[in-house]
Every structure is written in structure tokens, then in C-alpha cells.
Homo-oligomer: A and B are copies of this chain.
Amino acid sequence: MTSSATGSSAGGVAHLEGRLADRTVWHADNHCSIGRAMGIIGTRSAMLLMREAFYGTRRFDDFATRVGITEAVAAKRLRELVDAGLLQRAPYREPGQRTREEYLLTPMGRDLVPAALALMQWGDTYLADQPGGPLALRHRECGADVAVEVRCSAGHDVPLDEISVGVNRTRAR
């Protein structure tokens, strides 16, 4: 980097306060899957559609209306999301009604929730909040507020400056 760090290939882990430490190899390929992820849900409508799916929306028209996008856009995004594997289409019919198509979350889609919640949390904190105030997410079992947290498998809450980044199995350096 700026002279001093340029050769920091060996010992590693610079421990920069306030940011993630050490990057050395990872951006040879210029995106650590964030780029790919953004390729799929990197559009406003896509993310919003996923939010709707999380909330239980299943029908085409509801998606379009609730997200506030046109059917054309909804159709396109929805198809992309299905192709990408976040949603799956399935025919269903309520008694006495004709058959309809619904969009259901796949496991892959469901696993996007943490990211969506993290985003929502951030928005609630820093962006002008809507009239009614931000939504409250609660744990149904105990009533406590739900939040997205960064933790380690040993159970610690991990502050950002204690995260070290390394290549996967390569002896953590």
C-alpha cells in the first residue's frame, strides 16, 4: 500500500484500528463474492422483492403493488430471482378458485434474510425514518428485540477491529 504496507505479505494482519485487517491476496479476483451477490440482488427492486417474500408475499400482483414497481419490472426481476434460485414458482389453488402461480422462498433465498435485516437495521439507524418509526423485529418466543450481530463461533461478540481476514485454509498465517 503506501510504502510501509506494500511488502506486508508475510507476517500479515496489520491490525488497523477501526477497519478490517490485512488484505493481501483476496482481491486478486476483484470481488469477494460481494460483487457476485450484488449482481443478483444489487438492484433496488430485487432486494425489495426479496423483502416482500420474507414477509410472506407470494402472489405476483402483491409483489408489484407492495414494492411499488410496475408489473413489467416485477415480472422481469421475479424471473431473474427464480433463475438465480432465490425463489421458486409453484402452482397452487385455493378451493373454488382457479390455479395460480406463487413465488416461494428457497433455502438460498431464505438465507439472504440476515443480509436484508442488517441493511434494514442500518437504514433504520442512519437514514431518515418513516413516519411511523422503524419496524420492530422481535423474537416471538421471548419478546426481545432482534438484531443482526457479528459473532465468532466461540460465542464472542466480535467488534469490527478484531476481525482478521485470511485465505481459507492457508494456515491462517
By a beta-carbon cutoff of 8 Å, the part of chain A in contact with chain B is 1-3, 5, 13-16, 18-23, 25-40, 42-44, 47-48, 51-59, 62, 66-68, 85, 94, 105, 108, 110-154, 156, 158, 160, 162-170, 172
Contact = CB atoms under 8 A, between A and B. Distances in A.
Nearest to A127: B36
8 contacts: A19-B110, A30-B66, A30-B67, A31-B51, A34-B123, A114-B122, A133-B167, A148-B149
> Oligomeric state, in number of copies?
2
A27 B67 CA distance: 8
B132 A25 contact: yes
Contact of A153 (B48, B147, B167, B169): B147
